[in-house]
Amino acid sequence: MTFLQIASLLIVLAGVFGAVNYLFLKLPSAIGILAVSLMASLAVMMLDFIAPGLGVADQVRATVTSIDFSDALLEGMLGLLLFAGALHVKISDLREQWRVVFLMATMGVALSTVIVGVGFSWITGMPLLIALVFGSLISPTDPVAVLGVLREANLQKSLETKIAGESLFNDGVGYVVFLVLVGIAFPTGHGEHAAEPSAQAAIQLFFQEAVGGAVLGLALGWLTFRVMRRIDDYSLEVLLTLGLAFGGYELAVALHVSAPIMAVCAGLLIGDVGTKHGMSEETRKYVDAFWKLIDEILNAVLFLMIGFEVFAVAFTMDAVQAGVLSIALALVARLAAVAVPVLLLRPFRSFSKGVIPIMTWGGLKGGISVALALSLPDGEWKPLILTATYIIVIFSIIIQGLTVAPLANRLGREPELM
């Protein structure tokens, strides 16, 4: 299938499944599309089991595997999704929460990676270094899934800022940690990142990716803002923001700095400084509406693709058992990633009621984890990692995603604190 045919099919199915969800399931949009696509995938598999001569599942599997989900997300959709998410997080709000966001996005990711890695190695017998790679790809919360749930939940402003800010930044940090660990664990399988699997090379790569991505994002965002200040044409200014998201992401990839962190920093700058000082009221409305629409469409397509990726997963009994146990492991690791920074900062500031359980349960995993698992070099442990990742992601989006808002409403009833 050509790119246009694949894109057309995904858009059509996202629309159809979205309508099915709206009319019958009435779940939050993205979660509903995932649930319908997953049910459709399982129905096709069941049909093939009942009537194996039809070969429908094999045809669908061939189509699904022909779509490079990892490249489609990591090299295409992710930049737009992160830029759109960051565009609606205000720097002034983030500044008030920066300490907890910073600690959760750095110390939290590190703690979670180690806890999941050590636990998964013990559960499966996997070499520790490879298990740490699994820990790095499953530890970050997925901003696409998290921000999608936040739109449906009526959370306190400070809590919403913590969750949104942390998910945007720990995604970029987690991706960098993943690259570093893959370069060490698979020295022949990840191109330039595998040249020197030493501690010095790993630290250098981390700072190159993380700091370089932030600097590039702020520089490109500032340049775009300065241009937009001289223009009063909403259609051109919308086009400039789209060029920033697309071009900046690809430039970051070419320069070997973190493209996700670039997209977040550029989006934050345009969404705050740009909207205040570089846009007219009319332009602000159009930019906001455009990126909300882009966000909704790409979310629908992404969650549709996650549902269909079940065809790419090998569900052996051992892998399923490891995946189910890994759900509890991932939740324990997430609890540590949230609780340790909060407890460290609690002597110096107040937190909203229920912040630890809400942020623990609201730390959803999503398409980025699946994409990173698919991007691993082929080997003995990749099928197990992919299966466990997929099980955690499906549980996280459907079970946690549908229950985090009631949990937040039940635990967070006291007046908001900073």
Encode pLDDT of 41-82 as tens digits.
Answer: 999 988 878 877 777 888 888 888 888 899 888 888 888 999
- Residues of the chain where predicted confidence (pLDDT) is lower than 70: 148-155, 188-199, 412-418
State the pTM of this model.
0.91
* The pLDDT of residue 152: 64
pLDDT score recorded for residue 104:
94
At a CB cut-off of 8 Å and minimum separation 6, what does 227 contact?
Answer: 240
Give tens-digit pLDDT for 298-334.
Answer: 989 999 999 999 998 988 999 999 999 999 999 999 9
Q: Which of 354, 290, 389 is CA-nearest to residue 153?
A: 354
Q: What is the pLDDT of residue 416?
A: 45
Query: Whole-angstrom Cα distance, residue 193 to residue 180?
Result: 7
356 closest CA partner among 365, 343, 373: 343
CA angle 175–181–185, rounded 5-degree value: 140
